Amino acid sequence: MEDQAEQLRELMRAKNNNTQTTTPAKDKQSRKTRIITVASGKGGVGKTNVSVNMALAYARLGKKVIVMDADLGLANVNVMLNMIPKYNLYHVIRKQKTMKDILIDTEYGIQIVAGASGFSKIANLSEDERQNFINELYTLSNADIIIIDTSAGVSNNVLSFVAAADDAVIVTTPEPTAITDAYGIIKIIATEIDNLNMGLKLVVNRVKTVAEAKKVADRMINIAGQFLNLKVDYLGFIYDDPAVPQAVLRQKPFMVLDPKSKASLCVQHIVGRMEKTEIRQDGGLGNLIRRLFNRE
Ligand SMILES: Nc1ncnc2c1ncn2[C@@H]1O[C@H](COP(=O)(O)OP(=O)(O)OP(=O)(O)O)[C@@H](O)[C@H]1O
Ligand SMILES: [Mg+2]
The mean pLDDT values, 10 residues at a time, for the chain of 296 residues are 45 43 38 87 95 98 94 80 89 85 95 79 60 72 91 76 85 96 92 74 98 97 90 96 97 97 98 87 61 54
Q: How far apart are CA 40 and CA 168, in angstroms?
A: 10
Q: How far apart are CA 122 and CA 284, in angstroms?
A: 19
CA of 151 to the centre of ligand 1 (A): 12
CB 85, CB 78: distance < 8 Å: yes
Q: Find the ligand nearest to 265 CA.
A: 1
- Tell me what pLDDT residue 246 has: 97
- Tell me what pLDDT residue 4 has: 45
Q: How far apart are CA 189 and CA 195, in angstroms?
A: 11
| Bridge partners, residue 34, by sequence | 145
CB 279, CB 63: distance < 8 Å: no
Does the beta carbon of 253 lie inside 6 Å of ligand 1?
no
What is the CATH number assigned to the segment(s) 2-14+31-294?
A: 3.40.50.300
CA of 268 to the centre of ligand 2 (A): 20
Question: What is the side-by-side strand order in the sheet with 65-69?
Answer: 104-105, 111-113, 65-69, 145-149, 34-39, 167-172, 199-207, 232-239
Candidate from 38, 40, 48, 172 with most ligand 1 atoms within 8 A of CB, to mutate: 48
Count CB-CB contacts under 10 A for residue 90: 18
Q: How far apart are CA 67 and CA 148, in angstroms?
A: 6
- Tell me what pLDDT residue 285 has: 63
Does the beta carbon of 225 lie inside 6 Å of ligand 1?
no
Does the beta carbon of 261 lie inside 6 Å of ligand 1?
no
CA of 164 to the centre of ligand 1 (A): 24
Q: How far apart are CA 278 and CA 270, in angstroms?
A: 14
- Tell me what pLDDT residue 205 has: 98
Does the beta carbon of 88 lie inside 6 Å of ligand 1?
no
Does the beta carbon of 238 lie inside 6 Å of ligand 1?
yes
Where in the chain are the domains? Answer: 2-14+31-294
CA of 40 to the centre of ligand 2 (A): 10
